Amino acid sequence: MCAGCFIHLLADARLKEEQATCPNCRCEISKSLCCRNLAVEKAVSELPSECGFCAQQFPRSLLERHQKEECQDRQFSLQALMDQTRKKEMQLYNSIFSLLSFEKIGYTEVQFRPYRTDDFITRLYYETPRLTVLNQTWVLKARVNDSERNPNLSCKRTLSFQLILKSKINSPMECSFLLLEGPYDDVKINPVIYHFVFSNENNETDYMALPIVDSVECNKLLAAKNINLRLFIFQIQK
């Protein structure tokens, strides 16, 4: 199977709390038990594949070079896309540089563990142990496909998260925060800065999208035993 389907299969097994098995022979499979089939990779690289810009067909092994360097139809759409992407990146960098000038900045590595509710219709969610940042106690929760009943039946996967302040505070606490990939992970997460004013009466954010690049990257997180990320919190001083 292809890498994307393999990761999807491992993620399915985690969501169902089962051991992943081969769809054909039902033997157990895992990252450590499986290896790349180089002969099949070579054969697949020679199969025809269509350019997404000019619609011409090329061997799969040559398609990436054609799209990056040779396709004339790509050049026009690429320049507009690059300009738009560069503008968004500069806005993000400026926002992060602004946050780094704050006096109170907190950072920690977090680990989400899977749990299931005791309801008649059980639901899967993830939660971190209590963690201390900026001298306050916090908890993070996460859910798959916005708490869909059977996320293992979905082809597309998303994760959303919620930040909860567990400490009692004397006055409202205005914060900006973001989640990034954890140590030694190859998961691609686009940084997005969220903003919330915490108080004793309003100590939970809404569920917000974890900005993972696509469903394949989401499955990489779900296939792991625990989800490891990095949390940054910036306290805004009045």
User: How confident is the model at residue 150, as a pLDDT?
Assistant: 78
Task: Report the percent of the chain where pLDDT is more than 90.
Answer: 42
74-83, 86-95, 99-108: which range is least confident on average? 74-83
Instruction: Provide the token pair at 21.
Output: 């098995």
110 pairs with which residues across the strands?
Answer: 229
At 16-67, the pLDDT tens digits run 888 999 989 999 998 888 888 889 888 888 888 888 778 888 888 888 888 7
- The average confidence (pLDDT) of the chain is 88
At 211-236, the pLDDT tens digits run 998 888 999 999 988 899 999 999 98
Instruction: Delimit the domains of the chain by residue range.
Output: 103-235
Identify the DSSP state of 136.
E
Mapping DSSP to helix (H, G, I), strand (E, B) and coil, where does residue 151 land?
helix
How sure is the predictor about 76, in pLDDT bands with cuts at 50, 70 and 90? low
Which has more pLDDT, 26 or 151? Answer: 26
126 pairs with which residues across the strands?
Answer: 114, 142
Residue 77 predicted with pLDDT over 90: no
Residue 72 predicted with pLDDT over 80: no
Span 103-235 CATH architecture:
Sandwich (2.60)
How sure is the predictor about 167, in pLDDT bands with cuts at 50, 70 and 90? very high
Q: Of 174, 171, 105, 110, which is closest to residue 138 (Cα–Cα)?
A: 110
At 183-217, the pLDDT tens digits run 877 888 888 999 999 999 999 999 999 999 888 89
Query: What is the rounded CA–CA span in Å between residue 62 and residue 60?
Result: 5
Residue 148 predicted with pLDDT over 80: no
DSSP codes of every residue in 133-161: ETTEEEEEEEEETTT-S-GGG-SS--EEE
Residue 75 predicted with pLDDT over 70: no
User: How confident is the model at residue 79, as a pLDDT?
Assistant: 65
